[in-house]
């Protein structure tokens, strides 16, 4: 059995319907009417130890709801979850010892006490042996730049500093799996950089499994080997990032730096399978479909009209590919 096994998972929320207009609204306060809403709709996946998974999808697609079920905070309406063979809601304490949870908009630390005291409380709670605690604290302080923050209460820290402390706290007890729900939302670039380096190191060196949701595709590109894309509570795609890139990246871009692009622009020259964009007088961008033409043909075509000074060929990034899958532009 894989470390995380999710089968036909469903979560339904009951939502109050509020009527339109004051009269209706008043009526509904006294006679509430509920509708069922499926936030997670028959999701299955399995994750092996050591994997790094990006759980992505548009707002409201059911990411946080799934994470809450995986961590045992919410009970599924139907379907099953096994984490290391356990059902998280049934064996919550045992499960909690093996997981770390980070939520971008909620802190697990104590607002009024110095960070180091919160860390020590976690140590007690999770019964972390002194030597492990000290070793982790030292290493995490270094990577996350926590030295000057440890003796300050959380309320005096910036959002980025707070998040770095929260993430360090989630790894202090050497969890097998860490769930990160929007850990970098609204953060400064220094904090983002440190957080990414830290998570990557934990995954590389300690084989810590993690699932991360993020709107920032740089997090996903840097940290995840696999993505699970969901929309309206359903899995749309589940694959290795590299595979996704290969499968969907039929379009490539070539950027030409030329002496001037006048001859090409004014002639409105066309090549099937290629769309040209004129960024300024010295730059031409060509997006081409690899099934129709190859790079050499595109380069040859442009060089007929303009002397080329430099060429850069790029694929599309994973963010564009994901948008294309979601909005069916492929
Ligand atoms: N406690 C709740 N009660 C009713 N509806 C909810 C609740 N929590 C989330 N939802 C709804 O479920 C859907 C999925 O929410 P969520 O899992 O938070 O999405 P995501 O994290 O992908 O943005 C949304 O439409 C949201 O409004
Ligand atoms: Mg969310």
Distance from C-alpha of 140 to C-alpha of 168, rounded to nearest angstrom: 6
According to the model, what pLDDT value does residue 251 have?
77
According to the model, what pLDDT value does residue 314 have?
75
Provide CB contacts within 8 A for 173, sequence distance 6+: 97, 100, 122, 123, 126, 128
Q: Kindly tell me the number of DSSP H helices and DSSP E strands found in the chain.
A: 12, 13
Residue 156 DSSP symbol: G
According to the model, what pLDDT value does residue 313 have?
78
Distance from C-alpha of 68 to C-alpha of 65, rounded to nearest angstrom: 5
Q: Span 4-246: which CATH code?
A: 3.40.50.300
Provide CB contacts within 8 A for 250, sequence distance 6+: 289, 290, 291
For a ligand 1 pocket test, name from 55, 56, 65 the mutation site with the most ligand atoms within 8 angstroms of its C-beta.
65
According to the model, what pLDDT value does residue 21 have?
77
Kindly give the number of the ligand 1 atom that is closest to the alpha carbon of 67. Answer: 17
According to the model, what pLDDT value does residue 89 have?
96
Those residues of the chain that have pLDDT short of 50 are none
Ligand 1 touching residue 104 (CB < 6 A): no
H helix intervals, 181-254:
189-206, 217-223, 241-248
Ligand 1 touching residue 13 (CB < 6 A): yes
In degrees and rounded to multiples of 5, residue 190 shows phi and psi of -60, -45
Kindly give the number of the ligand 1 atom that is closest to the alpha carbon of 66. Answer: 17
Residue spans per domain, the chain: 4-246, 250-314
For a ligand 1 pocket test, name from 62, 69, 233 the mutation site with the most ligand atoms within 8 angstroms of its C-beta.
62
According to the model, what pLDDT value does residue 317 have?
78
CA torsion sign, 236 to 242 to 247 to 249? Answer: positive
CA torsion sign, 229 to 234 to 239 to 245? Answer: negative
Distance from C-alpha of 272 to C-alpha of 282, rounded to nearest angstrom: 23
Strand ranges for the chain from DSSP E: 4-17, 33-47, 52-56, 78-83, 99-103, 177-181, 209-213, 226-231, 234-240, 251-258, 274-280, 283-289, 308-314
Q: Let me know: does 238 contact 312? Beta carbons within 8 Å.
A: no
Distance from C-alpha of 96 to C-alpha of 119, rounded to nearest angstrom: 16
Q: Tell me the β-bridge partners of 6.
A: 45, 81
Alpha-carbon Rg for the chain, nearest whole angstrom, is 25
According to the model, what pLDDT value does residue 174 have?
97
What is the domain class of 250-314 according to CATH?
A: alpha beta
According to the model, what pLDDT value does residue 120 have?
97
Å from CA of 102 to ligand 2 middle: 12
């Amino acid at each position: 059995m894989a470390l995380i096994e999710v089968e036909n998972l469903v979560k339904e929320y009951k939502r109050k319907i509020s009527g339109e207009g004051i009269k209706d609204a008043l009526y509904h306060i006294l006679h509430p009417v509920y509708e069922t809403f499926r936030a997670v709709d028959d999701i299955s996946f399995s994750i092996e130890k050591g994997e790094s998974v990006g759980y992505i999808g548009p707002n409201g697609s059911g990411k946080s709801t799934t994470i809450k079920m995986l961590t045992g905070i919410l009970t599924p309406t139907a379907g099953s979850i096994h984490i290391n063979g356990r059902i998280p809601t049934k064996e919550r304490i045992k499960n909690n010892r093996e997981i770390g949870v980070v939520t971008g908009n909620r802190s697990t630390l104590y607002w009024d006490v110095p960070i180091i005291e919160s860390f020590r409380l976690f140590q007690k709670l999770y019964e972390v042996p002194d030597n492990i605690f000290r070793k982790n604290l030292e290493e995490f302080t270094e990577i996350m730049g926590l030295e000057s923050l440890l003796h300050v209460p959380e309320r005096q820290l910036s959002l980025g500093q707070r998040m770095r402390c929260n993430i360090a706290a989630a790894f202090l007890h050497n969890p097998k799996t860490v769930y990160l729900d929007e850990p970098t939302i609204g953060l400064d670039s220094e904090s983002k950089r440190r957080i990414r380096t830290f998570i990557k190191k934990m995954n590389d060196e300690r084989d810590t499994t993690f699932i991360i949701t993020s709107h920032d595709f740089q997090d996903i590109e840097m940290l995840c080997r696999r993505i699970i894309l969901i929309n309206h509570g359903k899995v749309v795609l589940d694959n290795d990032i590299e595979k996704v890139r290969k499968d969907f990246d039929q379009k490539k871009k070539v950027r030409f730096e030329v002496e001037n692009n006048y001859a090409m622009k004014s002639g409105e020259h066309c090549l099937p399978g290629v769309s040209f964009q004129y960024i300024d007088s010295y730059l031409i961008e060509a997006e081409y479909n690899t099934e129709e033409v190859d790079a050499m043909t595109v380069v040859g075509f442009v060089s007929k009209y303009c002397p080329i000074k430099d060429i850069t060929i790029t694929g599309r990034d994973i963010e564009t590919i994901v948008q294309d899958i979601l909005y069916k532009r492929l």
